[in-house]
Chain A
Amino acid sequence: MSSQHPGVASNRSCRRRAVLRKASVPFALLAGAVVLGGCKVPTFGAFRGATTQGHAEFKLWVGLFIAGLIVAIIVWALILWAAAAYRRKRPDQMPSQFHANIPLEIIYTVVPVIIVAVIFYFTVVTENQVDAVSRHPAERVHVLAYRWGWRFTYENGQGRPQGVTIQTTAPPRALALPATSSQYPQLVLPEGQTVRIVLDSNDVIHELYVPAFNFGRFAQPGHTNVFDFTTTRTGVFRGQCAEFCGLYHSEMLFSVRVVPPATFGQWLTTEQQRQAKQGATS
């Protein structure tokens, strides 16, 4: 049972980042691509991704967002310009009745095809990074989703059980507590190491969603999903079931705590002993 509350320091830095992130949204939207010349890429509202996989997604997001915003601004400008410039000035005004321009139409067919091809290339590259599964993960966690909770079972890199299971203890209730509350399970991960998540469900479809990792994946009955998290910084991150799973869907919370590998080892040993003792007494 994980009872650690998020460390004060990481919590504060989290909050500061959240504030920065919020403040950057309107600014980024206004300044758009111009800001890109600066040293730090604006987030456009998204998380930077606390895993290598999530950060790959983030880079794709920034690129796509800028491209999309440029296209949108150009087309919006054309729409509004056409609408504003060609208002009817006299009731009997009769415009020229042109109705086609084949070269122009070919251009605006071919240009989007090229844009799509470029976007698709970067999508596939990123997708392969995000979905890549390491052959030698440092740790494996079997995640079982059920109505309405989570169970994290730790195994070592070879898939041998380590005797540590973290599970939701909160009963479904009228109001959810914060995700980091001790009644919701906490997934503890070692920083900088690749952890394999083996995800499934024993009733309906759920979704393991960690916003700060820029990642969500369905937990399904009858189908096991496997993916890796390679965390890049310590901290406590909220997680939640994102796929609607029935009455108490909003309360299927958990949190992820990323700690240095040494701390992770300590934590694992402590938990092993505690849970072994608990198992012996009960």
Chain B
Amino acid sequence: MTLIAERPAVIGHPEEHEHGRLGVLGWLTSTDHKVIGKSYMLTALAFFLLAGVMALVIRTQLAAPDSTVVSQHTFNELFTMHGSLMLYLFVGPFAFGGIANYFVPIQVGAPDMAFPRLNALSYWLYLTGGLTMVGGFLTVGGAADFGWVAYAPLSDAVNSPGAGPDMWIVALVLTGFSAIFTGVNIVTTVFYLRAPGMTMFRVPVFTWNMLVTGILILIAFPVLTAALVMLWADRHLGTHIYTVAGGGVPVLWQNLFWFFGHPEVYILALPFFGVVTDVLATFSRKPVFGYRGMIFATISIAALSTAVWAHHMFTTGTVLLPFFSLMSYLIAVPTGIKFFNWIGTMWRGSIDFTASMYFGVGFLVVFLFGGVTGIFLASPPIDFATHDTYFVIAHFHEVVFALVYGAFCALYYWWPKMFGWMLRERLGKLSFWLFFIGTWITLISWYIVGLHGMPRRIAEYSASTGWTTLNQIATAGAFVMAAGVAVFLVNVYVSWRTQVRAPGNPWDGQTLEWAAASPPVHHNFTWLPPIRSERPVWDFNHPDHTTQQVHRKEAATAPSDPAAVKTAHGQDVGEERHP
């Protein structure tokens, strides 16, 4: 019987060390998915903090009527860049470039991504693209100031001249290619680099969601890139694709943008659905409830998300209202399945409330209401009344705040695996409560002020509108949330200064990453457990508590030595196949 230790047989360069080169050169030349994944996460978090500071400035401006904290022009730049950084450079890249890059290969038992150099190229395009976008602030006319959706014809050369908007376009093309390359990498890795026995229906839910996200990236990002190229041509080559003057159609931009934009919402959300699924199962000491249902729900959400783009365009008066309304409503069905499966996963479990689990449950609580208000907005008449108001702002911030809970959930869950030391639990819970309270303070006041008719993207309002108090409450909530993020940073610093070493499997995890060391060695595994379900590490550690009868039988005869257990599994399997 060949030992599993030999499975990750990998060919590298002769000069390659166990950990590659060290220092800056090591970082520049690394093609290791773990290094790239961590670089992605760090860069994305930096953009998150920058965009968060912009949000605080925006909230400070809006805390008083007739406010002049920043000029109108600066305000427009700030909300544009806040949205762009958060959506294009933080949530997405953090998920598919960061955690997926790190954990998809490990969860399927692969030594690396399928195309390591392409993976490195993705990161460099992301970094240079991100810096280009932020660099817009250094140009004469300032950064892009047409909103993160860049509706034509506001984004054309007449209404938004200057290098800043051009840098925004170029940055999105660069990060768009980066995302496409990562999508290709993830899909190929899941299709071709799975360990033996890791059939598609044993792939952990997180990785399944990343696979679907990868496909969605391939569907959505090329459309955005094409739309941007045409926008650039309109600005510089004198074409009239989006301008009425030469027979163009402005609403085409919205069709193209939202055909990217709505799958993009699920590109952002699906990874964190996956994170939370894995986390709930681990900390409940149970398998994922309705594993297959979960996967079919993910696929249905992805499919439906390609046919709902125009629910962002109900008020244009140019779209087929019932079609897009129905499609949008239908997304509630697979999302509902997911919610009940999450509850089923916790049900009658043995839930360990770690900081990660706090954020996981927080995700459920916050995302649920974001989903419910999404249902309201999928109704065209209600959208007419609330489109472009703070009600919409509250709705989608509720959704993306939930994704931030997902991000923290992933960080607290996988931090020991990635860095080899634990984060402090109590600081983590403090950070959660601050963030959670701040979230609701901000969101509830936004919902109400939106219903009272406050439009989005206004730099100031008159006191006669009566919106002042609600805006002040919202601003207070934003600062409470910022305090929560600050506590997280303190947590990282404290935990780094006095490190508590992390064992290989601190949470009694279920999926393959917990079979690797903390942090995993180069090319990830020195051995792999046998894979007989979607949670091989659990089956290996708890042979009496697997979900499949055959394992209980095997386990009863298994000796205590791990290596021997592996062999025993292998032999059993062999006998099953050739009776």
Number of CB contacts from chain A to chain B under 8 A: 289
Determine if A214 is an interface residue (Cβ-Cβ < 8 Å). Answer: yes
Q: How far is the CA of A209 from the CA of B390 in the complex (A)?
A: 13
Contact with A along B426-453 (1 / 0, CB 8 A): 0000000000000000000001100111
The answer to the question of A238 belonging to the interface, with a C-beta cut-off of 8 Å to chain B, is yes
The CA-CA distance from A87 to B458 in the complex, in Å, is 46
Find out whether the CB atom of B368 lies under 8 angstroms from the CB atom of A57. Answer: no
Q: A220 to B151: give the CA distance in the assembly, Å.
A: 11
List the one stretch of B37-45, B180-188, B315-323 in contact with chain A: B315-323
A131 vs chain B, min Cβ distance (A)? 8
**Which residue in chain B gives the minimum CB-CB distance to A94?**
B545
Q: In the assembled complex, how far is the CB of residue B536 from the closest CB belonging to chain A, in whole angstroms? A: 15
Residues of B near A104 (CB, < 8 A) are: 340, 344
What are the residues of chain B within 8 A of A105 when measuring CB–CB?
290, 293, 337, 340-341
Binary contact readout A57-88 vs B (1 if CB under 8 angstroms, 0 otherwise): 10011001100110110011011101100111
One of A44, A83, A113, A243 near B346 (C-beta < 8 A): A83
Which residue in chain A gives the minimum CB-CB distance to B155? A204
On whether the beta carbons of B347 and A130 are closer than 8 Å, the reply is: no
From 40 to 59 in chain A, residues with beta carbon under 8 angstroms from any chain B beta carbon are 44-47, 54, 56-57
Q: Looking across the interface, which residue of chain B has its beta carbon closest to that of A83?
A: B361
- Is A171 at the interface (CB under 8 A from chain B)? no
Expressed in whole angstroms, the Cα–Cα distance for A215 and B68 within the complex equals 30
Query: CB-CB contacts of A109-144 with B at 8 A, as 1s and 0s?
Result: 100110110011001101100110000000000000
Chain B residues positioned under 8 Å from A188 (CB to CB): none
| Cβ-based interface call for B325 (8 A) | yes
- Would A178 and B316 be within 8 Å (CB), given that A45-B452, A112-B332, A205-B151 are in contact? no
Q: Which of A152-160, A161-169, A244-252, A267-275 contacts B (4 or more CB under 8 A)?
A: A244-252
Is A191 an interface position by the 8 A CB rule?
no
CB-CB under 8 A from A83, the residues of chain B are 346, 351, 353, 361
B348 lies within 8 A of chain A by Cβ: yes
CA distance A77 to B546 in the complex (A): 30
Q: Does B138 contact A (CB under 8 A)?
A: no
Give the nearest-CB partner of A204 in chain B. Answer: B154
Given known A-B contacts A123-B381, A217-B315, A176 and B336 have beta carbons under 8 A apart? no
> What sequence of 0s and 1s flags, for each residue 383-418 of chain B, a beta carbon within 8 Å of any chain A beta carbon?
011011100000000000000000000000000000
Of the candidates B66, B341, B353, B384, which one forms a contact with A57 in the assembled complex, judged by CB atoms under 8 Å apart?
A: B384
Q: Do B322 and A127 touch (CB < 8 A)?
A: yes
Q: Which of B124-150 contact A (CB under 8 A)?
A: 145-147
Give bound CA distance, A221 to B2, whole Å.
Answer: 71
Q: How large is the interface on A (under 10, 10 to 19, 20 to 34, 35 or more residues)?
A: 35 or more
Chain A residues positioned under 8 Å from B456 (CB to CB): 242, 244
With a cutoff of 8 Å between Cβ atoms, the chain B residues found around residue A214 in the complex are 381, 384-385
What are the residues of chain A within 8 A of B146 when measuring CB–CB? 244, 246
- Which of B251, B384, B385 makes the CB contact (< 8 A) with A220? B251
Q: Is A216 an interface residue (CB 8 A)?
A: yes
| Residue among A82, A88, A246 having the largest count of chain B Cβ atoms under 10 Å | A82
Within the complex, what minimum Cβ distance (angstroms) separates A235 from chain B? 14
**How many angstroms between the C-alpha atoms of A87 and B372 in the bound complex?**
27
Contact A76 B348 (CB under 8 A): no
Bound-state CA distance A238–B154 (Å) is 25
Q: Is B255 an interface residue (CB 8 A)?
A: no
| B29, CB-defined interface residue at 8 Å | no
B560 within 8 Å of A by Cβ?
no
- The complex places the Cα of A244 from the Cα of B364 at a distance, in Å, of 32
B419 contacts across to A, CB distance below 8 A = none
The reply to whether the CB of B222 lies closer than 8 angstroms to some CB of chain A is no
Query: In whole angstroms, what is the CA distance A20 to B554 when docked?
Result: 69
The 10 closest A-B pairs by CB, nearest first: A211-B453, A222-B244, A250-B458, A214-B385, A178-B464, A242-B388, A99-B287, A82-B346, A242-B455, A45-B451
Extra contacts besides A116-B330, A214-B381, A223-B250 (11): CB < 8 Å: A65-B376, A72-B368, A86-B349, A112-B332, A119-B329, A119-B379, A175-B66, A180-B464, A221-B153, A225-B317, A247-B72
10 contacts between A and B (CB under 8 A): A64-B379, A86-B349, A108-B340, A115-B332, A127-B322, A176-B462, A203-B159, A204-B151, A218-B315, A238-B465
Binding site for B on A (CB under 8 A): 18, 21-22, 25, 44-47, 54, 56-57, 60-61, 64-65, 68-69, 71-72, 75-76, 78-80, 82-83, 86-89, 93-101, 104-105, 108-109, 112-113, 115-116, 119-120, 123-124, 126-127, 130-131, 147, 174-180, 203-205, 207, 209, 211-212, 214-218, 220-223, 225, 227, 238, 240-250
